Amino acid sequence: MNLADERRLRLRIMDALAEAALRSGGEVSHRQLDALDIGGGQVRRVRDTSRGIWNPQDLAATLSIVSSPTGPYDDSEVVDGLFHYAYRAGSLDGDNAKLRAAIYQQLPLILLRKLGPGRYLPVMPVYAVFDDAPRRRFLIALDENLRFLANSVDLSPLERRYAERLVQQRLHQPEFRARVIHAYQTRCAVCTLRHGDLLDAAHIIGDTLGAGDPLVTNGLSLCKIHHAAYDRNLLGISPGYTVHINQRLLDEIDGPMLEHGLKGMHDKSLTVPDRKAERPDRDRLAIRFTSFLAAS
Ligand SMILES: [Zn+2]
């Protein structure tokens, strides 16, 4: 396979993976990774079942690497927008040769961030940008726009803020989203809509107010309309897990979205995660509910 074909194939795999992830709130299962339908009757493997790096024989470079915060590799660190991926133990060439090839050929790859047993968040495309041989690690840029920061020893404060923001967007926000939506079994907490591609992970206390922790207990899985209504204080959630609709909306008469989608949710109980430890934090809900009441 020539490099142009390989590049196209990689992007096709990433498109198929992104589509699969979209349906489930951002994550994919090991089964999807082991046999991904990429269209045209083709199925591709996207991870190695036993190791943290997947080097398909027919490709010039590594296709995916796994970041497993609880795994044996010291690979979970992100510094200045670059992800540090440790060499496989006891290996200088072999596996690492194909990751080096990804640097020289500038081929995009997939970072699979392990969320739990059999669950992964695909982050892609990412780029291997530097082989830090003395420290036995590769530096991986989590965004195309970070590829050129690799060799700067010291980032300027502006570059550092930029890198941090991109890491937030590429890694932390999608991870928060996947964890929250998974906790709610891919359902809206208000209306139980089961379409992952129509769900968001809403913050109870947002980033701008401080305390915007990326904890599942500070999140709610909400469909797009209920998320927007919650953010606009047209919908409130009491610390007792009851849905409230703004009085002005309750007095309004309109079509089915207002009648069923919003007014119909008034006084309903919130659908919360099965696991107690993942249910929304009542203290945070109380703070947020105060602003809903004030806006009513
Ligand atoms: Zn909803």
Is the pLDDT assigned to residue 293 strictly greater than 70?
Answer: yes
Q: Answer whether 0.85 is exceeded by the pTM.
A: yes
- Lowest pLDDT segment from 30-44, 71-85, 209-223: 71-85
Q: Which residues contact 14 (CB under 8 A, 6 or more apart)?
A: 108, 110, 122, 124, 125
Query: What confidence tier does 212 reach under pLDDT thresholds 50, 70, 90?
Result: low
> Could you report the per-residue pLDDT of 166-200, keeping only the tens digit for each?
888 888 889 899 999 999 999 999 999 999 999 99
Strands 64-67 and 109-116 turn out to be parallel
- Give the lowest-confidence range in 19-28, 37-46, 87-96: 87-96
Average pLDDT, the chain: 89
CATH class of 3-177: mainly beta
C-alpha closest to that of 3 among 71, 130, 101: 101
Q: Which of 222, 271, 266 is nearest to 246 (CA)?
A: 266
Q: Is 63:51 a contact under the CB 8 Å cutoff?
A: no
Gyration radius (Cα) of the chain, Å: 22
How far apart are the CA of 230 and the centre of ligand 1, in A? 10
Compute, in angstroms, the gap from residue 296 CA to the centroid of ligand 1: 20
Q: How close is the Cα of 227 to the center of ligand 1, in Å?
A: 8
Residue 18: how many other CB atoms lie within 10 Å: 13
Q: What residue segments make up the domains of the chain, in order of their start?
A: 3-177, 186-295
Whole-number Å distance, alpha carbon 107 to ligand 1 midpoint, is: 40
CB 152 within 8 A of CB 81: no
Task: Tell me the mean pLDDT in the region 27-34.
Answer: 96
- Give residue-wise pLDDT tens across range 230-284: 999 999 999 999 999 999 999 999 999 999 999 999 999 999 999 999 999 999 9
Q: Look at residue 112 and give its three-state secondary structure.
A: strand
